[in-house]
């Protein structure tokens, strides 16, 4: 069978090779994000007793779900709202009423000088980033090529294959600061950051999936200065951050200006199935994004907007985030740290990135005798699903050993008992890798 861009089809003994375009080859091939989502689906449908610590599924928080349940009941009881939820297209920019309320909230609570013309909705953050990345990077009319600059890697696995072309990302190696209590922290190495004519945009997640890192206010301001000096946008992925769902456990100031594109989401608030991403940017970007959305999606779904509108219009979405969602994850994090410190062998050089946000523990096993992918496979054989760290180092050109020594763990999507069981198995497999 030809190896380039082809799929082998078989029907009643007849075999035919279907040729794929460059697009088909790229997006029809196996990717890190596809493997991650397949693991989630396989775990849910396998019938086996699998401990799912690999995906980004948020926790089910009863008090938060009660809020959404009450809103769904109201939507179902009011014929006009119910009809709008099921039977109406929103404009490509998204639900205008929700957007207007959100703009008001951002002005009122954060002081951002935005209007409804500065906000667009997408069918999930993943779709939003696909459109944004390809608006700013790739091949241009003059034949030049530009890349998305990641200030540091590791970064979100879902970025890796979002570009239409090859060599779409470039990333700087982080500075690694060793801290007390087996913790470390990644920081931006600005001397390794090359922003210039081949840069289309700078993008950073805050807090960072997979590590829980929160780049400092000073780092954000430095990145903003670099972006403005080079006339490129600074994209801040706030899917876990401020103002909602607020999964930041350290000091951080929300940041936006007309050269900044801030991306938010309802997923980690507890609505991953609603598939609703939010983009806050200058009017020119919002117009281009909305036009792109019309081509790719026709319209954005309005279920998430209608479901969350009351929370946004009253500002309760921020209060719910700070008073309920954030404390829940902090409690789960504290539990996870206690179990790790209890179960991990003191002879093993294991470290955890300082947990400043998100719902993930990023574990680094220095000089791990096996690769993180092999560790993932051994854990999967024992029905524990994590994510191998090597998937998160897109844009790093060398085969950095550190990228094969880390794993990401979701510490919130399962019960504490299941998390404890999973961490015990992880500790056992790591001990075997080091000590035999």
How would residue 327 be classed by pLDDT, with cut points 50, 70 and 90? very high
Return the pLDDT at 213. Answer: 98
pLDDT (mean) for 68-90: 91
pLDDT (mean) for 334-350: 96
Assess if CATH 3.30.43.10 describes domain 88-314. Answer: no
**DSSP string covering 95-125:** -HHHHHHHHHHIIIII-----GGGEEEESSH
Domain boundaries, the chain: 31-62+321-435, 88-314
d(CA 336, CA 363): 12
pLDDT digits (tens, 9 = 90+) for 212-221: 999 999 999 9
Return the pLDDT at 252. Answer: 97
The chain-wide mean pLDDT, for the chain, equals: 93
Return the pLDDT at 67. Answer: 96
How would residue 48 be classed by pLDDT, with cut points 50, 70 and 90? confident
What SS3 class is residue 299?
coil
The 3-class SS string of 247-297 reads CECCCCCCCCCCCEEEEEECHHHHCHHHCCEEEECCHHHHHHHHHHHHHHC
d(CA 40, CA 33): 11
Return the pLDDT at 4. Answer: 42
pLDDT (mean) for 345-350: 93
How would residue 408 be classed by pLDDT, with cut points 50, 70 and 90? very high
Q: Which helix (H) or strand (E) holds 393?
A: none
d(CA 201, CA 395): 14
d(CA 399, CA 385): 24
Return the pLDDT at 2. Answer: 41
**DSSP string covering 56-82:** -PPP--HHHHHHHHHHHHHHHHSHHHH
| Residue indicated by tokens 């994510």 | 387
Query: In whole angstroms, how far apart are CA 133 and each of 58, 214, 264?
Result: 25, 22, 15
pLDDT (mean) for 130-138: 97
d(CA 102, CA 110): 11
How would residue 7 be classed by pLDDT, with cut points 50, 70 and 90? low
Which of 28-42, 163-177, 362-376, 388-402 shows the lowest mean pLDDT across its residues? 28-42
Who wins on pLDDT, 287 or 23?
Answer: 287
Who wins on pLDDT, 5 or 430?
Answer: 430
pLDDT (mean) for 198-210: 98
Domains 31-62+321-435 and 88-314 equal at CATH topology level: no
Q: Which helix (H) or strand (E) holds 231?
A: none
pLDDT (mean) for 382-392: 96
For residue 397, what are its two tokens? 């050109």
CA dihedral 288, 293, 299, 304 (to 10 degrees): -90
pLDDT (mean) for 343-348: 93
Return the pLDDT at 18. Answer: 75
Q: Which CATH class is domain 31-62+321-435?
A: alpha beta
How would residue 41 be classed by pLDDT, with cut points 50, 70 and 90? low
Which of 27-41, 78-92, 375-389 shows the lowest mean pLDDT across its residues? 27-41
pLDDT digits (tens, 9 = 90+) for 259-280: 999 999 999 999 999 999 999 9
| Total H helices, total E strands in the chain | 14, 18
pLDDT (mean) for 357-376: 98
């Amino acid at each position: 069978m030809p190896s380039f861009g082809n799929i082998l089809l078989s029907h009643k003994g007849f075999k035919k090779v279907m040729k794929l375009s460059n697009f088909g080859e790229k997006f029809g091939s196996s990717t890190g994000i596809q493997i991650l989502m397949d693991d989630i689906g396989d775990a849910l449908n396998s019938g086996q007793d699998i401990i799912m610590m690999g995906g980004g599924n948020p926790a089910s928080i009863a008090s938060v779900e009660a809020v959404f349940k009450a809103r769904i009941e109201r939507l179902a009881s009011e014929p006009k709202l119910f009809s709008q939820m099921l039977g109406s297209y929103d404009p490509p920019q998204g639900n205008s009423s929700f957007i207007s309320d959100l703009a008001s909230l951002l002005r009122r609570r954060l002081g951002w000088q935005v209007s409804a013309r500065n906000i667009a909705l997408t069918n999930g953050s993943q779709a939003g980033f696909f459109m944004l990345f390809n608006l700013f990077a790739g091949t241009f009319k003059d034949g030049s090529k530009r890349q998305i600059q990641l200030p540091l890697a590791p970064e979100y696995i879902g970025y890796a294959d979002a570009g239409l072309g090859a060599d779409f990302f470039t990333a700087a190696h982080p500075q690694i600061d060793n801290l007390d209590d087996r913790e470390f922290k990644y920081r931006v190495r600005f001397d390794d950051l090359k922003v210039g004519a081949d840069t289309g945009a700078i993008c950073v997640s805050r807090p960072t999936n997979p590590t829980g890192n929160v780049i400092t206010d000073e780092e954000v301001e430095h990145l903003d200065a670099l972006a403005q000096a080079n006339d490129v946008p600074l994209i801040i992925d706030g899917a876990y951050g401020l103002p909602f769902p607020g999964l930041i456990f350290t000091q951080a100031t929300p940041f936006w200006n007309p050269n900044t594109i801030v991306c938010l989401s309802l997923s980690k608030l507890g609505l991953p199935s609603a598939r609703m991403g939010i983009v806050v940017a200058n009017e020119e970007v919002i117009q281009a994004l909305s036009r792109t959305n019309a081509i790719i999606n026709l319209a954005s779904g309005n279920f998430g907007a209608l479901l969350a509108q009351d929370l946004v219009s009253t500002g309760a979405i921020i209060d719910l985030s700070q008073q309920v969602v954030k404390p829940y994850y902090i409690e789960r994090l504290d539990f996870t740290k206690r179990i790790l410190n209890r179960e991990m062998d003191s002879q093993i050089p294991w470290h955890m990135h300082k947990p400043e946000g998100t719902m993930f523990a990023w574990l680094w096993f220095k000089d791990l005798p096996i690769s993180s992918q092999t560790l993932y496979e051994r854990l999967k054989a024992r029905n524990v699903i994590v994510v191998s760290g090597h998937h998160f180092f897109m844009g790093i050109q060398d085969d950095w050993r550190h990228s094969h020594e880390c794993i990401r763990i979701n510490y919130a999507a399962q019960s504490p008992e299941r998390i404890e069981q999973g961490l015990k198995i992880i500790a056992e497999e790591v001990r075997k890798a080091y000590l035999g």
